[in-house]
Amino acid sequence: MADKQTELSTTDSARLRRVLDDALPAWDHRARSPVEIMPGSSLRGDADIYPNGIEIAWQGMVSAVDHLKAVRALWLDAGHVHVFADNTILRAALLNASTAVCLLDDSPGVDRTERIRRAGLAALADHRDHLEHQTAMKEMTATLGATATATHQQLLSKIQSWFDRADQVATDHGATKQQRGRGLTATFCIITAGRVTARGSSPDQRVRLESGIRSVWQRGSADAHGRVWQTRTRWAGHEQPGLRADIGELINSIQAVTLVLNEAWRIWDLRSVNHATGSAE
């Protein structure tokens, strides 16, 4: 059972409201109103080579916003905090936001070739999962008749062509066979997002930010997969481990997601501008 904290401290309430009442509505509005990327911008240059990377980044930001909206509905509308489920939702939001940052990354030393390589690997993982799922559906589809079977085969051929294209893009931009076999991994995205989000901070602050983001990912992954170690190391303030929804911990998780998602939007905006003309979309 959850040991639910029924009242938030003034500080925690202010932290929560800054995210859920201020930042989130603005992001939600943007997610509902996508605009064309400006010609001549850095982002357009990436998209002209392989548009899937930009599409996956945008989808990541939109999905992260939607997951944060789900947490807001649970907490502020339904008035319920879950022991494990909330961390699972925040884990998904963090991964989506981190994937966007990883694909949009404009850090020193990260050039267009590297971003396109990452985009190819992200698309490889996406299309591979889709292909495996649809292949597993062949037996069931065959029971629906010849028309359904033919339509399903056309879908498989289309997904295979997407996969082959992603594999070629990744190869052409320096991805090794081993990297293509893994695709763009969640761990790589989380680590990269932590590094990008923390850049410009003092050394001590950078370590805290990066480790904090990785800790949120670790907790969320443990809860999403029902790992026993998570329950054994989550304490209820007594001598024995307990199952407890800690409001402060969950708000820290929300803030980690917010930092990474804000960085994704910031890079998107910066790279959408054609700096030669000084115009923005």
| Dist. CA 77–CA 73, nearest whole Å | 5
25 within some domain: yes
What is the mean pLDDT of the segment spanning 1-20?
64
pLDDT of 243 > 60? The answer is: no
pLDDT in tens, 102-148: 999 999 999 999 999 999 999 999 999 999 999 999 999 999 999 99
Q: What is the pLDDT of residues 215-224, one digit of tens each?
A: 999 989 988 9
Q: What is the mean pLDDT of the chain?
A: 89
What is the b/e burial string over 246-269, where b = at least 16 CB atoms within 10 angstroms of the residue's CB?
A: bbeebbbbbbbbbbbbbbbbebbe
Residue 130 placed within a domain: no
- What is the DSSP secondary structure assignment for residue 74, as one 8-state letter? I
89 occurs within a structural domain: yes
Domains: count for the chain: 1
With respect to residue 117, please indicate whether it lies within any of the assigned structural domains.
Answer: yes
Paired residues of 274 in beta bridges:
279
139 in any annotated domain: no
CA-CA distance, 168 to 180, in Å (whole number)? 10
CA pair distance 67, 52, nearest whole angstrom = 22
Residue 143, domain member (yes or no): no
Secondary structure element (H or E) that encloses residue 58, with its range: helix 51-72
| Tokens, residue 89 | 């939702």
Range of the structural domain that residue 27 is part of? 10-121+159-272
61 phi and psi angles, rounded to 5 deg: -65, -45
Q: Are 219 and 231 spatial neighbours (Cβ–Cβ below 8 Å)? A: no
* Any domain includes 141: no
Q: Determine, yes or no, domain membership for 212.
A: yes
Higher pLDDT, 181 or 248: 181
